[in-house]
Chain A
Amino acid sequence: MKRLFMNPDPDADSKPLPWPQWVERHGRVFFLYARQQTRCESDAKDVLQEALAEAWRRSPDRSPDKAVVFATIRRRAIDLGRSMDRRQKRELAVGHPGEDWFYPDFSEGDTRETLAAALARLPADFREVLTLRIWGGLTFPAIAQLTGVPCATATSRYRYAIEHLREHLAELQP
């Protein structure tokens, strides 16, 4: 155990939300993260349900902090992964989807699908930081604490992820 100094979450809810509204507001992002942390859709659903319930119970006087929920999802996904044998993990790792991670926006043409596919191909560490930063809205210090790496590493992973995506999209340009 080590002492930890937390950074403030600028997006923390000032007023507690009822459970249904809280799930409605943040459930999408949490599910996106859970899908990226697990090896199949059903695992993502299980992990998300358990993590949300755990975070909610531990925060009786206000809505749970997003960073805490992300950390809970991450811990439960890791625990679940450890509990599965290697053969099963290999089987489930095949064909893990990424194409429906985002809500369809037909005005954007194939942008959504292209980006989602590129995102799915990113190294997991890079994708995790990108997701927590872009859609989770976490600060780099918070991401660093959540993922257990120095802040500089989290920042670098984000930059590398953006650069990877940029190169991938540039290759697709006519």
Chain B
Amino acid sequence: MKAPDDLESLLRSLTPNTLPEDLKARLAVEPSPAPSPREPAHRRMMIAGFSLAAAAALVLVVREHGAPPSSPARPTVTVLHRDSSLVATRKLGFVEKDGRVFRVEERHWRDEEEALCSSSPVSVRLHEDRREIIYQPVRFD
């Protein structure tokens, strides 16, 4: 038994035990990348609102141009294009929650949608700006 005169060195000389074989097997495969987060509820609602607004706008357009009275079929709305683009980002700072540190960033998005009514050659293009706050985990270095 060594004398405990240099206990810290003695402790450092101890090597933590190896991982059990079953745990090694569980850790053999690299974790898959994080799944893309599901679109938040407010974003899904916004997209639904977009579609509704596009449909309403097209109905107005159809009324303006006058739909053929003999046509029994109701016009249908087709979304030609829907896209979201990142316009700008802004770093806001760092926060800590539940022992984890996050970098807070504000992202400015532009959501665009183009829709076409079956009874009219006129397409409608809508866009809406939105901002979202992103929390990104950071490391201690």
Contacts and interface: CB of A to CB of B under 8 A. Distances in A.
A170 interface: yes
A129 interface: no
Query: Size class of A's contact patch?
Result: 35 or more
B97 interface: yes
Contact of B97 (A1, A108, A173): A1
A2 B102 CA distance: 11
A156 interface: no
Interface string B81-104: 000000000000111111111000
Contact of A165 (B7, B93, B101, B137): B7
Interface in A33-64: 45, 48-49, 52-53, 56-60, 62, 64
Contact of A31 (B1, B19, B34): B19
B99 A102 contact: no
A52 B27 CA distance: 9
A interface secondary structure, majority: helix
A75 interface: yes
B2 interface: yes
Contacts of B28: 20
A62 B116 CA distance: 46
Contacts of B20: 45
Nearest to A26: B16
Interface in B1-22: 1-4, 7-8, 10-20, 22
Given A23-B19, A31-B16, A74-B99, 4 more contacts: A3-B95, A142-B140, A166-B4, A169-B1
Interface of A: 1-9, 12, 18-20, 23, 27-29, 31-32, 45, 48-49, 52-53, 56-60, 62, 64-65, 67-68, 71-72, 74-75, 100-105, 108-112, 114-116, 130, 134-135, 142, 145-146, 148, 162, 165-166, 169-170, 172-173
Interface of B: 1-4, 7-8, 10-20, 22-23, 26-28, 30-34, 93-101, 137-141
